[in-house]
């Protein structure tokens, strides 16, 4: 049996040659479990005469990955096989790869279709020797199989369908795309990402350094208006955002319900269900970044809306097809009053927003008074036991996993954006609550910190100072993302420039506990958890305050809780601190200088 090598030459399959290559990739793996000889045997059993060496590598990688249930190091070996193959198939020089991406010609039209922006290309060319020499390609071998295949499928830039970038190329492209001419900052960003301390959000990895650098993750919208023009203007916004790889959270509380009067046509509304089917089809058609990820929209509705029961059924697998929109995600924006009525086994009333305005813009005691006044006036469309609605919510969650439950009063009372107006929804992933309006589409600018990287395996200590330093750096990165970002709609630019929200998440907390030998529910794990997030918050607030000293506070800082010395834990009446960080001094400096970011 013969294989065809990369030069197109045929040669005999040799067990020892394959074994030697696989064995060379096992450095640092547990060879008591990872058996290169057995993997070689299994790989050869799957070969056919005339197989290419690239196909052989792919088969060896897939075979190794299938053995990951025996030991996780097989997943690492599978990734190393793939990385080795990619390195043999791509150029090593970062600047040469960037040149190929910049000079790309569309094979169908023959037109120049650059995949790198002119500004970033010129910066890379002006510093090509420094950038080329700085990259450490050995770090490509740190991925596991699933991580590498995800990069290969969606993140690494391609030419004519073939991957052109290596993972290190992508990370350097992202770093330069964020920092432009500040090469030292770009190199620091590259170093921290390539060593696994943090990662930027998916759209940042997709688009940084490209001609359309849309680097933000999620966008929060409120329906432009309860009219045909307003609905379709909002649909266009959603399509443009999805095209640019943004996830979407959309509040529809003020769209009139089924049977409501339409003055312009002397007819009646069909309610929210047919409208949401249109949004559903748009999410299917306009995927993120041209096939990289599915378009995703989460729809937020308050439970006093008369169409709430039909809303809860939209993702179910049974029922009439014209009453389903299964590709959207659904969330309840829940006032405390509803949960109180459920707890008390009291009645719950539904009101059409066209007939009883203002409910979506009120929260807390103001909402309660307005809601009860509409009840007293007899304006309810229908009144049923609150627990009947709650049973429908639980039933839908069991069947479909939605609706997500978010609580309107807490979201507004405990937000640093409470001075802007009423917050009407969260985003696609429900991790950030931001103010939206007709002329402001709120934006999530995100990064994720990989906590296991901060564990010293020898001393079994967590490096809080390193966590502080990286968080401080990432906060600066996200401010750069806001400044250099491409905005698919102008309303998103308005919001991001006014309020400059950023989000720092984490990954690997359970892994961190395991590495430190802590039981997940132990007191020491609980204390570590608190101290990790206290450190992240302190570092981010410090970096934001320092940026405000240089560039000024965000424009809507005045009147915010932070401007009064109230930070997030103050809004929750929680003041237990580790004593590691000087919060009192930081608060005084924030009141004096402001913050660069509202969240």
Task: List the catalytic residues.
Answer: 427, 429, 431
- ∠ CA 274-319-381 to the nearest 5 degrees? 55
Nearest-10 Cα torsion for 546, 547, 549, 552: -150
Q: Are 523 and 464 in contact (CB under 8 A)?
A: no
Nearest residue to 156 via CA among 174, 141, 180: 174
**Interstrand relation of 446-450 and 503-507 (parallel, antiparallel or unpaired):** parallel
Please tell me whether the peptide bond between 168 and the residue prior to it is cis, using omega within 30 degrees of 0.
no
Contact 160, 441 (CB under 8 A): no
Sheet of strand 10-12, all strands in order from the earlier edge strand to the far edge: 10-12, 2-4, 51-52
Q: Which residues contact 214 (CB under 8 A, 6 or more apart)?
A: 203, 207, 244, 245, 246, 485, 486, 487, 488
Q: Which residues contact 27 (CB under 8 A, 6 or more apart)?
A: none
Please tell me the distance from the alpha carbon of residue 535 to that of residue 471, in angstroms, as a whole number. 9
Please give the Cα distance from 300 to 314 (Å, whole number): 13
Which residues is 297 bridged to in the sheet? 248
Half-sphere exposure of residue 539: CA atoms within 13 angstroms, side-chain side: 22
CB 134 within 8 A of CB 190: yes
* CB-based burial, 214-244: b 16+ in 10 Å, e otherwise: bbbbbbbbbbbebeeeebeebbebbbbbbbb
Which helix H or strand E contains 483, and what residues bound it?
A: helix 464-484
The owner of tokens 């600018």 is: 445
């Amino acid at each position: 049996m013969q294989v065809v090598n990369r030069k197109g030459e045929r040669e005999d399959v040799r067990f020892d040659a394959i074994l030697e290559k696989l064995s060379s990739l096992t450095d640092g793996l547990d060879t008591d479990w990872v058996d290169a000889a057995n993997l070689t045997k299994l790989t050869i059993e799957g070969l056919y005469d005339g197989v290419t060496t690239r196909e052989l590598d792919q088969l060896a990688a897939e075979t190794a990955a299938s053995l990951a249930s025996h030991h996780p190091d097989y997943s690492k070996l599978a990734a190393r096989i793939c990385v080795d193959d990619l390195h043999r198939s791509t150029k090593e020089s970062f600047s040469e790869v960037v040149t190929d991406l910049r000079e790309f010609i569309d094979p169908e039209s023959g037109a120049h279709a650059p995949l790198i922006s002119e500004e970033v290309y010129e910066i890379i060319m002006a510093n090509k020797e420094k950038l080329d020499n700085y990259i450490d390609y050995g770090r490509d071998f740190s991925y596991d199989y699933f991580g590498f295949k995800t990069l290969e499928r969606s993140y690494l830039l391609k030419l004519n369908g073939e991957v052109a970038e290596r993972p290190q190329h992508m990370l350097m492209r992202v770093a330069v795309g964020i920092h432009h001419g500040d090469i030292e900052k770009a190199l620091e960003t590259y170093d921290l990402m390539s060593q696994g301390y943090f990662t930027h959000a998916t759209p940042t990895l997709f688009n940084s350094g490209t001609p359309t650098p849309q680097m933000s993750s999620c966008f929060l919208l409120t329906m432009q208006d309860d009219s045909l023009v307003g609905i379709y203007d909002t649909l266009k916004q959603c399509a443009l955002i999805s095209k640019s790889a943004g996830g979407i959270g959309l509040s529809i509380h003020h769209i009139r319900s089924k049977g409501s009067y339409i003055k312009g046509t002397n007819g009646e509304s069909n309610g929210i269900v047919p409208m949401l089917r249109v949004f559903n089809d748009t999410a299917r058609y306009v995927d993120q970044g041209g096939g990289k990820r599915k378009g995703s929209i989460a729809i937020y509705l308050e439970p006093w809306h008369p169409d709430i029961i039909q809303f809860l059924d939209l993702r179910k697998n049974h029922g009439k097809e014209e009453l389903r929109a299964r590709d959207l995600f659904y969330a309840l924006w829940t006032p405390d009053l509803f949960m109180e009525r459920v707890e008390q086994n009291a009645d719950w009333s539904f009101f059409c927003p066209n007939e009883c305005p203002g409910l979506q813009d009120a929260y807390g005691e103001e909402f309660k008074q307005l809601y009860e006044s509409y009840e007293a006036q007899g304006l309810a469309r229908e009144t049923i036991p609150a627990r009947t609605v709650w049973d429908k919510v639980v039933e839908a969650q069991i069947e479909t996993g939605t609706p997500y439950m978010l609580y309107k009063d807490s979201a507004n009372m405990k937000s640093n954006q409470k001075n802007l107006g009423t917050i009407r929804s969260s985003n696609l992933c429900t991790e950030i609550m931001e103010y939206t309006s007709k002329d402001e589409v709120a934006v999530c600018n995100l990064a994720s910190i990989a906590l296991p990287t901060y564990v010293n395996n020898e001393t079994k200590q967590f490096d809080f100072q390193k966590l502080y330093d990286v968080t401080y750096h990432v906060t600066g990165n996200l401010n750069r993302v806001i400044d250099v970002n491409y905005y698919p709609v102008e309303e998103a630019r308005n919001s991001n420039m006014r309020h400059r929200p950023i989000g720092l998440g984490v990954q690997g907390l359970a892994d961190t506990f395991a590495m430190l030998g802590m039981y997940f529910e132990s007191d020491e794990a609980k204390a570590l958890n608190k101290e990790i997030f206290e450190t992240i918050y302190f570092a981010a607030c410090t970096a934001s305050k320092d940026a405000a000293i240089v560039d000024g506070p965000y424009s809507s800082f005045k009147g915010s809780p932070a401007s009064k010395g109230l930070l997030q834990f103050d809004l929750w009446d929680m003041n237990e601190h580790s004593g590691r960080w000087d919060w009192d001094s930081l608060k005084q400096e924030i009141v004096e200088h402001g913050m660069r970011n509202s969240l």
